[in-house]
A and B are shown apart, each in its own frame.
Chain A
């Protein structure tokens, strides 16, 4: 699992190398906490626009690092995932 932050991408690459050293195969990568792009069409603060631009850049990094091993992109949810209805919502996005 990875999130669109430069440090986490680096750590994940290092970890993947270590897993390979120990013969642990990886099915793929899942990107979590992606801020939805649709927000750009709304009247949102500069702060959030910058966060989205930063994530866009890091998502290019994710593609470069993990290529077609990326299995899913999951948005940052509007609130904590607790309770079955929210879990169901997340599951339906993951397994879409």
Chain B
């Protein structure tokens, strides 16, 4: 029979470790213990929580909430993501993008209201968490990333959204690329130079790349 240890020894390429399960089965504890074992065997490990009710702070007896990666011992870092902080940064980023893309001096009031209202939605928190996690794993600074997963429903909800976003972004991207071709043709006829980058298209491709990266991790593809 394959044991828990064998999975790690036989599959060193599995660098993203996730413990899933219902509430109260011990996900956070196991995340911490697996991180400890790997770190004490010389692997550089980051264990992190995306669950607002997470208790890595309790388990390690260290206040790590919202402090970025905190070193626990040799090779072992732990992190609890502060969703609120990320939501605020996220809102600011959205405002900045609107200003840049449309060349506005200030965010119009109705859009500001919309940003405020959207932030109250649970999807905004998940989105902010998602962004924070993608930033972390894309840096690739650790041998192992151990996710203390939110309860199952949330993880699956996220995956289903990833599929929807991906399809939607594909469609919009294709449309914008076609538009761009026409624009270039028109410019050539008018003998104008095309230098302006399609910022919205760039942004969509950036989001798509991030979604694909994390969906790739979750689906092992």
Contacts and interface: CB of A to CB of B under 8 A. Distances in A.
A81 B35 CA distance: 14
Q: How large is the interface on A (under 10, 10 to 19, 20 to 34, 35 or more residues)?
A: 35 or more
28 contacts: A2-B25, A8-B21, A8-B22, A11-B152, A19-B20, A32-B26, A33-B25, A33-B26, A68-B1, A71-B4, A74-B26, A81-B32, A82-B58, A84-B36, A84-B60, A84-B72, A87-B29, A87-B32, A87-B33, A87-B60, A90-B29, A90-B30, A91-B33, A91-B34, A91-B40, A94-B4, A94-B5, A94-B34
A4 B26 CA distance: 13
Q: Which of A28, A83, A94 has the most CB of B within 10 A?
A: A94
B101 interface: no
Given A3-B25, A22-B159, A23-B219, A94 B33 contact: yes
B3 A1 contact: no
Contact of B36 (A3, A15, A71, A87): A87
B7 interface: yes
A8 B22 CA distance: 7
Contacts, number: 111
B3 A71 contact: yes
A66 to B, nearest CB: 12
By secondary structure, the B interface counts as: helix
B33 A71 contact: no
A81 B28 CA distance: 10
A18 B156 contact: yes
Interface of B: 1-8, 11, 14, 19-22, 25-27, 29-30, 32-34, 36-37, 40, 58-61, 72-73, 152, 156, 159-160, 163, 218-221
A25 interface: yes
Contacts of A22: 156, 159-160, 163, 218-219
A19 to B, nearest CB: 7
A52 interface: no
Contacts of A82: 58-61
Contact of B37 (A1, A68, A91): A91
Interface string A74-93: 10000001111001101110
A36 to B, nearest CB: 16
Interface in A1-30: 1-3, 8, 11-12, 15, 18-19, 22-28, 30
Contacts of B152: 11, 15, 18
